[in-house]
Structure 1
Amino acid sequence: MKIKKLVAGSLATLATGATLAFGAFGTTTLNQGLQPYVQVDVAGNTLSQPAIVVGDNALVQDVLGAIDIATALTSQYAVQEKVIPSTAGVTSVSNGVLISSDLNKLYLGTAMNAVKDTITGTDLDLFANQQFTDKNAQTITYQQALNLSSQTVTFGTTTEFTEPKLYTTFSSSKPYYVKFYFLGGLDTNAVDSNYKITLLGKEYTFGPNTGTAVGGAPEIELYSATGTQTVTVTAGGDPVTVTIDGVEHTIEMIGWDTSTTPYGAILKIDGQATTPSAWQEEKTYTFPGTSTKVYVNDVTVINTPSASGGAGQTGSAQLFIGTDKLVFKNGEAVEKNDEQLTNTMVYITNSTSTKITSLVVKIAPDTDTYLADGGEYVDPVFGAFKFKLNGMTPGMTDSSRDVIKVAKDGTNKVKLTFTNKDGTEYAFDMFYYDSSAGAWERTYDGTHEVWIQEGNETSGAYNITRGDYFVVSDEKKTYVLKYAGLTTTSGKEHVTLQDIATGTNYDVYYKTDSYLRIGALAFKVKYQSADQSILVDLNGDGAINRTTVNMYTQGEAIIGAATMAAINVTENPLYTVGNDPTGTTINMLASYASNDVSFSLSGVTTSQIGTQNKYAGVTTYGTYVEHDTDSDSITVYYPGTRPAYVNLAVGADPVFSTTGATTGGTYKEAVPIYNPVAKFASEIPSTPTQDLILVGGPCANTLVKSILNEAWNTTDSCEYWRSDATLGQAGAGLLKVVENVLGSTHKALIVAGYSGDDTRTLAQKIMKPDTFAALSGDEWKGQVNSL
C-alpha cells in the first residue's frame, strides 16, 4: 500500500510545468478525448479537473496506467496558448544618417534642428575633416558641417498630391547651412587650376577668378572634377567622340573668334553649329539635346609660321563636359553655371585679403518644395547629398501595431474591436440606440448591459444580471466576460462567468471562494440572492464602489467608454525621454439619424484620401487613424508603449533597412501544478465535486463498480463484466463516458481492462489522440490491442 500511495501521489508532480487549457463542451463523447475533463486555476496553480482515481487496493499496473494517463493529460491536452506580439524592429541607414540623436527622435511636428542641429564627420563620412596642400606646400585641414533647418515632417495633402501622406517642406523661409572651416586659412594666392580640393566627397578644380576681392573677401571659383570628361579639340583636327547618358556625340572645332575677350571657340556638335556659334572661354553652356553642362576652360590661338614663310594661326579649346561651375562671393547668392541661385547666400570670413578662414553657404529653395514619403530632395548647390523620407518606425499599418476599430453594427449599434494583453481579440457591441426612447444605451442588444462601472456593494445597486457583459481590468490586463450561468444546488453554489472571446468558463463558488481568478488577477464577486444578480470588483482593488474601468490593448493603449455613445483611445507611453510626445486622446462619438449610425472624430487632424469618402490622419505620437464615412468605421493603428518616429535621412544616397523586426506567433506556456490530482476511490465523495478519470474495472475499483451498476442497471457490475461475451475474455477493455455521475453535474471516463496488464495497455493506447479520434459514442469495448 505504501508503494501504491507514493506512486499515485506522484501524478501531481508529473503535471507540474504543464499548461492547462480547456474548452466548453456539450454532451461528451469518446472522440473528444481527454480534453473535456481538463480545467485549471492558473492563479492558484491548481488542476481543478479532473481527479484521476484508482481503487483502494489497485494493482500496480492500474497505478502505472493512471500515471500514463496523467502524462498524456498534462502534456497533450492541458495546454494554454499565448500570443507573441509582432515587433517593429529598428530602422538603420547606410550611405547616410537618420536625423535623430541618442535622446531625441524625429516625431511628427518636431523641428529637425531640435532633434539634431549639426551633421559632422562624426555622424557621416561625407562631412569628415579633409586636408588640402597648396602650391606653397602648406597643408590645410578643413572641417565640414551641415546645420539643419527648423522644418518639420507632417501628414496630409499639398497642392502637389491629393493622397494624404508624410511629407516635409523645404521652405524659402527655413534655410539650412553648409559650412567649411579652414584651420589656419586657405590662401587663394596659392591655388590655381592645377590644384584640386574635395568638398563633401566631390573633387573641384579652382577657377581663374579665385582670390578676386569681392565684398571685402576673396572670391572662390570652383569647377567640379568628379564625373567630368575633359576634352581638347583642335581646329582642323579630327572630331572627338564623347558619351553622355549612354549616347555617343562628336565635337569638332572649325575655327575661333578673337574679337571677344576672352576668345571663343567655333564648334560643331554632331555636325551642327552651336548656339551661340562661338563658345567663350570661362563660360558655361548646355550640351545640345541634353541637360549636361559644358565649361570652356581654355581657348588658345597660336601664331605659327606657314610653309611659304608667312605667318599662320592654329587654335584649340579645352572643355569640361559634365562639370558644375560654382562661384562664391561674400554677401551674394551662389552662382551655379553662370546663374544665381535665388534664396541662397554666401558668407566668407578672411584673416587677410587673400586668406579664407570659413565659407558658409545658406541654402533654401526660391519656392516651397515638398519632399513626400518615398521621395528625395537633392541639395541644389553642391548636389553631393540628398534628403530621403521613408515612412515611420513602426510603419503606419505595421503588424506590430495594435488595431482598434469602432464601427456601426447593423443600423443602431456601435461595435468595438481590440486585442488585449494576452493577444485575445474582443469584438462586441458597446452601445445600442433605442429609437423608441430616442437615446443611446450601453447594451449590446437593447436588453443586456455592458458594464464598465462597478455597482455599489453597500446598497446592492447597479448589479449585473444574467446575460450581461462586464469588463474587468487590472495591471493593464483587460477581459470581457458574460454572466453566463448560475448553479444553486446546495454545496455547489456558483456562478459561471464566460470570456466572450475564448469561451472559457470561470466558475465562482461565491460561498467558499468569492473571487473571479484569471491568471494572477483576482476580482471580488458578490452574489445577490434576491434577484440572482452579481456585483463585481471590476478593477481588482478589493472594493465594489462605483469605480469606472478602462480597457487596455496589447500595446497598452487606454480605451474609455464612460461617456454614452463615445469611445476614446488615449495614447499611453511607458516613459518619456528627450523630446518624446506625451500622447493625446482620440475621441470617437456616435450619432444616430435616419436609421443609421455615423461617427465624428476629434483629437487627430485628418485629410481626405483622394476623392473617396475616407479620411486619414496621424497624431504626433504616431498613431495612424482612418475614418471611412461610407462604412461608418474608424480604425486606429496604435504604435504601442513607445511613440512612432519619422525616418528622414541625409547622405550621399541613403538606403533604409529594418533589423530586429519579428512576426507574431503563439507559444505554449507551462503552469506549475501544486495540488495532488490522484485519489483513491474511497476519497471521492458520494456526490462527486469534480470530473473523474477512473482507472481499473469494477472488480478492482469500488467507485467504478458503483457507477457501472447504475449505468448497466445491475447489482454487481463485476460479475456482469465476467459474463459479458466481449469483456469476459482475456485482453478485453472498456472505455466509457458517464454524464452526471452519481447524481452530480460532473462526468467520468472509465478506463478498464480484463486484467491489470490489459488496463495498463489500454491506458497506453489512449495516450495517443488518434486512438480517441477513431471512436464514437459514449462506450467502446473490445480487444485493447485492436485499438
Structure 2
Amino acid sequence: MFNFRKISAILTGAVMIGSTAGFAAAANFPTGFTSSTPAIVYGASAPPSADLTAANSISSYLADKVPTSGGTPTGDSVMIGKSSDHLNINNTWAVLTGTINNDDLSILLADGTYSASDSDTYDYEQTIILGKPELKHFRDSDYEEAAGLSDKTPVIGFQIPSSTWVMNYTLQFTSDPESDVVSGEAEDIETSVIPLLGKEYYVSDFDVSGGSAGFLGKLTLLDSAEVGSVSEGETATVGGHEVGIAFIDNDEVKFTVDGVVVPGNDKLSKGETHKLSDGSFIGVRDISKLEVSGETGSVSFSIGTGKLEITSGSDIKLNDDTITGLKGWVYNGSGTATTIKVDKIEIEWKTDDEAFVSPVVDLTMPGFKAVKFSMNDLKRNEEEKIIVERDSGTNIELSLPIKDGNVNFDILYANATGDLVGIGKASDDRLATSGNTTLKYYEKQSGADYHKYFVASYATTTDSESYLLRAKIAYDSGDNRNETTIDKYSGAVNDWVEVCGGKIAGDDCDIGDVTFTITSVQYTAGGNETALFTASSNVNFSTIYTAGGLKIQLPYPVISGSANTPGAFQINDTDSVGSGEEYTPNSTATAGYGMASYGMHFFDEDKDDNVAAGDAFNITIDDTSDNNLQISQVNGAVSGGVAINNIQNAGLELGETSSYETYIKDDVASRIIHYTKPNEDYVEIYYPTGDSETYAEAYLSEASSSSTGEAGNMVYMDSEKDQWKDKNVILVGGSCVNTATAEALGVTSGTCGSDWVAKTSVGENKYLIQIVADKFSTGKIALIAAGYSADDTKAATDRLVNEPETVATTAGNAYIWTVGVTGTDVCLSGC
C-alpha cells in the first residue's frame, strides 16, 4: 500500500524540485497551487508589513495543502545508497549492496533470543535483502490520483510495476528451535511468541504437516494478542471483551463474547481461531475437560487484533484474506521422527499492483505493516538555464551562462527555403569556428563584413571556461604594422570589453586560462582583414562551456567526406587559400551534419565533475513546413526524446501545455524541456551548478516513522524573480507597489491611483482577483490579488483564505468585488 504525505510549509528552507503544470480544469482555489510549492509574491516597495502580512496569511493557509518535500524519517531507518555511491536516476536499490541487518536497523532487525512454550531458548538474527526498483522520471495517472494531483505531473521517483520483487525478510535461527510433534502440531512452538520485523506475534497454531520438501506447513500468528483463561460458569475480560464458555468438551469449545455465542454454528478446537465482530480474533490455546460427570472445564485463549497465516510457498493470509505478492516459507531443520526443527522463516514481498515511491507517496509493506519505503526530493544544486531557440525565421540562437555572465549569439542560419547555409547569424554576421587548433578570423572579406564573433574555450579533465570574443583588425601607420584587438563579451556589464589590445603576429592573448597566439594579421584596405589564431594547450575554438560545466559542441565546417562527428557541418570547400574559410553548404551531407538538418551535441560532467565525462545528448535543428527553423527533436525523437541510450523515455507532458520534460539518465541528469506549442519548437536545458551530481535519498524505515521534510519557502519579493518565475505564483498587491503584478497585467510598473483605475476598473474599496497564464513561465499560472489600497488587497487575500470556493482558478477568469463587512463583499463582475 502507498500513502500520501503532506507537511506544513515554513517561510525558509529548500524548495521542492520537480515539474508541474499549473492548469486545472474548472476548479476552485487552491487548485493549481498545491501540486508543488507555489510562490507568493509581494512588492518590495510596499509599505512595511502591509502586503507581506497578506502574503503570509496565504502561506499559512496553504501550509498543510502543499506536498512535503520529503525529509529524513524519524525512528529506525536506513538510507538506500552510500556516500560513495548515491542513488542516481537510472540506479536501483542495488546501490545499497549486501544484506541489511541490525547494524543498519537496530530495532526492526535486532538480534535476540526466542523462548519456546517449553521455556527452551534459541538465538536468532534478522536480515533484509532489497529488490531492484529503479529511480526514474515518470508520469502516471494512478500516481497522480494517489498523490492528490489534478494535473499531468512528471516526477522523479519509483514507478514499480506489479509483480516486482521489493524485498525479502529472513528470521534466521542460529540454533534451531525444536518441538515435539503431536497430532501434526508443533506443540512446543504453539502458544509462544515469535518476533518478526520489530513486532511480536503470538503463535496460535503451527501445523507442520503438508509442507513441501524442506519446508513446514502452516504457521498461524496473532498480532498483539492478549492471553487469558476462563472456567465454566465464569467470565474473564481480555482485550476489552467479556469472555465466557457456552460449551466445552475434551477437545472443542464455544465461547460467549460480549454476550454473543461464537462461533455460531460451529465449535473451535485447540489452535483454531474465530473472527469477532470488531475484526479481532479469539484463538484456543488449550482445552481442559475430562469426560467425567460434574467436572468443570476451562479453556486458555488469546485475543489478537489480526491473524496472519504463513503457509510455505503460498501467499500469506491476513484475517483470512489473501495478500497477493506476499509469500512466506518456514524452513525445516534437521528434526527426528517425532520432532521438528525450525531453521528460518522467510517472507518475500512482491507488488500485487503498480506501486509508487516519491517525495509525497510512501510504500508500506502489506499485512505486517512493519516497514515502509520513502524518499526525499532530488538532491540537486541550483540549475542554470540554457536556451536554444529561433531568433528569427532563419536563425537559431544559443543563450547560456558562461564564466563572465549570460551571453546569447546565433549559431546557424538558413536560406528562405529553410536549408542551413552557414554558421552564425547571416553571411555578414558569422560565427568563426574551427575543428582544429587554428582559427582564421575574417573581420572583412573582400571588403565586406564576414565574421562578427568567435568562442575560445579552455578545458582539462577537471576545469573548463569559455569566452565569447571578437577581433578587430587595423593597420598602425605610426608603427607600420598590422594589429588586432581582442574584445570579450561580458554578461556582467552587457557589453564588449577589451582584453588584448594592439597585438601583432607572434603575440599571445591571455584571457583567464585561455591562451592563443596571434600567428598572423592581414590588413588590406577594401580587401581582406584577417587574423590567424593558434590555440595553446587545452584550448579550442569549437566548444563552449557553461559556468556550471556543461560542454556544448558548436558547429564547425568540415570538408565533405569527413567523418560525421559531433559539431561537423559538412561543406563544399571553395577557398583557394586555406581550408574551410570560404564554402558552400553540402546539399548531400548526412542528416544532422549539413543543409537538411543539424544535430547539436551536449556533454554532461560525471558525478565527480570531470568535464564531459558524463553522457552525451543532442537536439535536432530543422525547419518547419513554413521553412522557419526550430528544434524538432531531442535525441532523435519529437516530444523530448525516446527510450534509447541515455534518455529516460519520451518527453513527459507538463499539464496540458504541449511542453515535454525529460532527464538524461546519468549522475548529473540534465533536465530538458521541449516546447512544442509555438509553431517553431525550442528547448530549455537545466543544468545543476556547483557539485553537479543529482541523486535521491530513499529510505527503508519502520512504518510508524514520520518524515521531517517541509513544503519549503513560499513568500518572495517581486525583486527575487529568478527564484519564483518558474512556479505557479500568487501576486499580492497592485501595480503601484508590485512590479510582478504590473508585468502580469501588462501595465507600466508604478501604475497607481487613477491610472490603475483606468487600466483595471478597480477603484477605492474594490479589489481584483484574476488568473493569467504563461506570463512568467510557459505552463504556469499567476493569480493576482490586488486592491485599490493595502486594506483592499487584504480583503482580496482574505477571500482566498476564507472563501476559496468563490474563486475558480481557470486561466482567464477575472473577478472584481467591492469591500463590505467581512463576508458581505459584493461581486461586481466575473462571478
Give the TM-score normalised by structure 1: 0.58
Describe the SS at the equivalent of 1:474: strand
Asked if the contact 1:467–1:484 (Cα under 8 Å) also holds between the matched residues in 2, the reply is no
Question: CA 1:186/1:229 → structure 2, altered by over 3 Å: closer, same or farther?
Answer: closer
Question: CA 1:534/1:508 → structure 2, altered by over 3 Å: closer, same or farther?
Answer: farther
Letter in 1 for 2:684: T
User: Percent same amino acid among aligned pairs?
Assistant: 14
Is 2:132 the partner of 1:150?
A: yes
Residue 519 of structure 1, aligned match among 480, 495, 512: 512
Question: CA 1:257/1:201 → structure 2, altered by over 3 Å: closer, same or farther?
Answer: same
d(CA) in 2 for partners of 1:581, 1:283: 63
Letter in 1 for 2:657: Q
Identify which range, 90-99 or 340-349, moves more after superposition. 90-99
1:490 CA drift (Å):
2.6
1:153 CA drift (Å):
2.6
Describe the SS at the equivalent of 1:611: coil
d(CA) in 2 for partners of 1:522, 1:91: 47
| Alignment partner, residue 623 of structure 1 | 670
The higher relative CO (CA closer than 8 Å, separation ≥ 6) is in 1
* Residue-by-residue CA offset, 1:593-626 (whole Å, 9 max, x unaligned): 4264432111623222343201111222122222
**Superposed counterparts of 1:233-252, under 5 Å:** none
| Alignment partner, residue 112 of structure 2 | 130
d(CA) in 2 for partners of 1:184, 1:235: 41
Residue 208 of structure 1, aligned match among 205, 209, 229: 205
Residue 374 of structure 1, aligned match among 353, 357, 360: 360
**Superposed counterparts of 1:216-365, under 5 Å:** 217-219=215-217, 221=219, 223-226=221-224, 256=246, 262-267=252-257, 282-283=272-273, 285=275, 287-288=277-278, 293-298=279-284, 320-321=303-304, 323-347=305-329, 348-352=331-335, 353-365=339-351
d(CA) in 1 for partners of 2:656, 2:608: 39
Is 2:487 the partner of 1:497?
A: yes
Q: Once superposed, what is the RMSD of the aligned Cα atoms?
A: 4.6
| Alignment partner, residue 700 of structure 2 | 650
Question: CA 1:171/1:391 → structure 2, altered by over 3 Å: closer, same or farther?
Answer: farther
* Residue-by-residue CA offset, 1:715-753 (whole Å, 9 max, x unaligned): xxxxxxxxxxxxxxxxxxxxxxxxxxxxxxxxxxxxxxx
Residue 100 of structure 2, aligned match among 114, 119, 128: 119
Is 2:155 the partner of 1:110?
A: no
* Residue-by-residue CA offset, 1:759-786 (whole Å, 9 max, x unaligned): xxxxxxxxxxxxxxxxxxxxxxxxxxxx
* Count, aligned residues: 541
Describe the SS at the equivalent of 1:637: strand
Letter in 2 for 1:385: V
Describe the SS at the equivalent of 1:118: coil
| Alignment partner, residue 572 of structure 1 | 605
| Alignment partner, residue 668 of structure 1 | none
Letter in 2 for 1:134: A
Letter in 2 for 1:165: V
d(CA) in 2 for partners of 1:454, 1:207: 78
Asked if the contact 1:100–1:106 (Cα under 8 Å) also holds between the matched residues in 2, the reply is yes
Question: CA 1:497/1:611 → structure 2, altered by over 3 Å: closer, same or farther?
Answer: same
| Alignment partner, residue 387 of structure 2 | 405
Residue 552 of structure 2, aligned match among 534, 559, 566: 559
d(CA) in 2 for partners of 1:584, 1:133: 59
| Alignment partner, residue 533 of structure 1 | 529
Asked if the contact 1:303–1:311 (Cα under 8 Å) also holds between the matched residues in 2, the reply is no
Asked if the contact 1:328–1:346 (Cα under 8 Å) also holds between the matched residues in 2, the reply is yes
Is 2:174 the partner of 1:183?
A: yes
Identify which range, 563-572 or 487-496, moves more after superposition. 487-496
Letter in 2 for 1:629: T
Asked if the contact 2:235–2:244 (Cα under 8 Å) also holds between the matched residues in 1, the reply is no
d(CA) in 1 for partners of 2:261, 2:390: 73
Asked if the contact 2:419–2:623 (Cα under 8 Å) also holds between the matched residues in 1, the reply is no
Is 2:691 the partner of 1:634?
A: no
**Superposed counterparts of 1:562-711, under 5 Å:** 562=555, 563=567, 565-573=598-606, 582-594=614-626, 596-599=628-631, 600-602=633-635, 604=647, 605=649, 606-621=651-666, 622-631=669-678, 632-639=681-688, 643-653=693-703
Question: CA 1:108/1:235 → structure 2, altered by over 3 Å: closer, same or farther?
Answer: farther
Asked if the contact 1:91–1:658 (Cα under 8 Å) also holds between the matched residues in 2, the reply is yes
Asked if the contact 1:414–1:590 (Cα under 8 Å) also holds between the matched residues in 2, the reply is no
Question: CA 1:532/1:597 → structure 2, altered by over 3 Å: closer, same or farther?
Answer: closer
Asked if the contact 1:91–1:657 (Cα under 8 Å) also holds between the matched residues in 2, the reply is yes
Asked if the contact 1:98–1:647 (Cα under 8 Å) also holds between the matched residues in 2, the reply is yes
d(CA) in 1 for partners of 2:85, 2:600: 32
d(CA) in 2 for partners of 1:494, 1:582: 38
* Residue-by-residue CA offset, 1:634-666 (whole Å, 9 max, x unaligned): 12223467542333321214666799x9xxxxx
Describe the SS at the equivalent of 1:356: strand
1:384 CA drift (Å):
1.0
Asked if the contact 1:107–1:153 (Cα under 8 Å) also holds between the matched residues in 2, the reply is yes
d(CA) in 1 for partners of 2:538, 2:333: 77
d(CA) in 1 for partners of 2:386, 2:297: 81
1:471 CA drift (Å):
0.5
d(CA) in 1 for partners of 2:230, 2:284: 11
Asked if the contact 1:343–1:363 (Cα under 8 Å) also holds between the matched residues in 2, the reply is yes
Letter in 1 for 2:700: V
| Alignment partner, residue 471 of structure 1 | 455
d(CA) in 1 for partners of 2:613, 2:252: 61
d(CA) in 1 for partners of 2:613, 2:112: 39
Asked if the contact 2:442–2:530 (Cα under 8 Å) also holds between the matched residues in 1, the reply is no
Asked if the contact 1:264–1:299 (Cα under 8 Å) also holds between the matched residues in 2, the reply is no
| Alignment partner, residue 154 of structure 2 | 164
d(CA) in 1 for partners of 2:696, 2:375: 8
Question: CA 1:179/1:458 → structure 2, altered by over 3 Å: closer, same or farther?
Answer: closer
* Residue-by-residue CA offset, 1:201-233 (whole Å, 9 max, x unaligned): 11222223365674454456354555x677999
Residue 194 of structure 2, aligned match among 171, 175, 197: 197
Letter in 1 for 2:314: E
Question: CA 1:522/1:173 → structure 2, altered by over 3 Å: closer, same or farther?
Answer: closer
Question: CA 1:535/1:656 → structure 2, altered by over 3 Å: closer, same or farther?
Answer: farther
Question: CA 1:450/1:259 → structure 2, altered by over 3 Å: closer, same or farther?
Answer: farther
Residue 398 of structure 2, aligned match among 416, 421, 424: 416
1:386 CA drift (Å):
1.0
Describe the SS at the equivalent of 1:354: strand
Q: For structure 1, which runs of at least 5 residues remain unmatched after alignment?
A: 1-89, 243-249, 305-309, 662-787
* Residue-by-residue CA offset, 1:53-111 (whole Å, 9 max, x unaligned): xxxxxxxxxxxxxxxxxxxxxxxxxxxxxxxxxxxxx9966532222246533333334
Asked if the contact 1:266–1:279 (Cα under 8 Å) also holds between the matched residues in 2, the reply is no
Question: CA 1:225/1:472 → structure 2, altered by over 3 Å: closer, same or farther?
Answer: same
d(CA) in 2 for partners of 1:127, 1:656: 20
**Superposed counterparts of 1:428-439, under 5 Å:** 428-435=409-416, 438-439=419-420
Question: CA 1:495/1:548 → structure 2, altered by over 3 Å: closer, same or farther?
Answer: closer
Question: CA 1:140/1:567 → structure 2, altered by over 3 Å: closer, same or farther?
Answer: same
| Alignment partner, residue 732 of structure 2 | none
1:199 CA drift (Å):
2.0
Question: CA 1:498/1:575 → structure 2, altered by over 3 Å: closer, same or farther?
Answer: closer
Question: CA 1:581/1:472 → structure 2, altered by over 3 Å: closer, same or farther?
Answer: closer
* Residue-by-residue CA offset, 1:131-178 (whole Å, 9 max, x unaligned): 223355543221111122233232223452453223231541535321
Letter in 1 for 2:364: V
